[in-house]
Amino acid sequence: MNIVIVGCGYWGRNFVRILQQYPNVFIKGLVDTNPENVSAELIGNHLLFRSLEQAIEQLNFDAAIVATPVNTHFNIVKQLLEAGKHVLCEKILSTDINEIEQLEQLAKRNGRFLMVGHTYLFNAIVEDIKQRLIEHQLGDILHATFKRSGLGPIRKDVGVVEDLASHDLSIILHWFGMPNKIFCTSRDVTGDGLADIAFLQLVYENNMIINIEVSWLNPIKQRLIEVIGSKQMLIFDDINPIEKLRIISPGTGYIKEIKDFALHQTHVRGGDIVAPNINYGEPLKNEVEAFCGLIETGKSVVNTLETAKNVASIIYNICHNKTR
């Protein structure tokens, strides 16, 4: 399989690293308009093009991976699909549902596959939690909290909701589907016209509440998810190198009245805390393998286009101060 990588920034370089591990996948060329993104080490024996038009004209390739700024995605993906190439585009594909549907129809007409890189959909722990939810292991889900923060990098093409919250939204949609109501409060501290901190609240028909906190200004890097059920709760800490997932059983159940603080402390943990041993793997590598498998077999692991449309719908509502 011959692949071209469009965009050689942070994610583009990671795609190069991953593709080099497969003997039957060949990087036919790199495309980037910014010379600062492309080092001599990255180029190696690969052909470098300063425009996508040149790569399409001069190279014979099957597929492309697009890792460019969000505001360039629509035109680049459209150009590649029109040229008869399969495309994996990093998230978010677009904040405009109409654009996503146009690209979806174009891919179908040309008999090509379009996949969106919502990387957490290819995360083994996210899938493990999905199965626990299906099996009702946590009981009725009461509420959940998602925290995603770190000191930058502050982007210029999209705000913190599109950049960071889109990860959490893709996970939430995968686990729980679309919410009934959406609320968001955000702030532009740096003054560039884009939100750099935001707090989202999603409310479901069964009254389950999900809170999302995203920030480019919090110096503490967090990738934390807490899901509280009537039987168990879980903590997914993607920063933790050893115990990424912990399942906590309350044991004695809820304590309605505490008259003695010492007694309260003895009842905080009445059950077990289990850290399941899950073969984690690298989610981005799983994503690439799913893309190659989609081209080879025509079978998709997850419907990333449907997720892309639903994420775009939520972000549109947030940006236009609407609730569903």
What does the pLDDT look like over 164-189, one tens digit per residue? 999 999 999 999 999 999 999 999 99
Q: For the chain, which residues make up each domain, given as ranges?
A: 2-117, 121-283+313-319
pTM listed for this prediction: 0.91
- Pairing outcome for strands 63-66 and 2-6: parallel
Q: Rounded distance, CA 162 to CA 48, Å?
A: 30
% of the chain exceeding 90 in pLDDT: 77
Query: Which regions of the chain does DSSP assign to beta strands (E)?
Result: 2-6, 26-31, 47-49, 63-66, 86-90, 114-117, 141-149, 181-187, 197-203, 209-215, 222-229, 233-237, 245-248, 273-274
Cα 15 from chain centre: 15
Query: Using 50, 70 and 90 to split pLDDT, how confident is the model at 260?
Result: low
* Topology agreement, domain 2-117 and domain 121-283+313-319: no
What CATH superfamily classification does 121-283+313-319 receive? Dihydrodipicolinate Reductase; domain 2 (3.30.360.10)
Residue in this structure with the two tokens 């990860």, named with its chain if needed = 167
What does the pLDDT look like over 227-242, one tens digit per residue? 999 999 999 999 998 8
Cβ proximity of 64 and 90 under 8 Å? no
**Tokens standing for residue 130:** 């999905």
Residue in this structure with the two tokens 């549902």, named with its chain if needed = 97
Q: Which fold, 2-117?
A: Rossmann fold (3.40.50)
Of residues 35 and 197, the one with the higher pLDDT is 197
Tell me the average pLDDT across 299-306.
Answer: 91
SS3 label, residue 309 = helix
Residue in this structure with the two tokens 């935001």, named with its chain if needed = 198
Q: What share of the chain is helix, strand, coil (3-state, %, to 5)?
A: 35, 25, 40
Query: Using 50, 70 and 90 to split pLDDT, how confident is the model at 35?
Result: confident
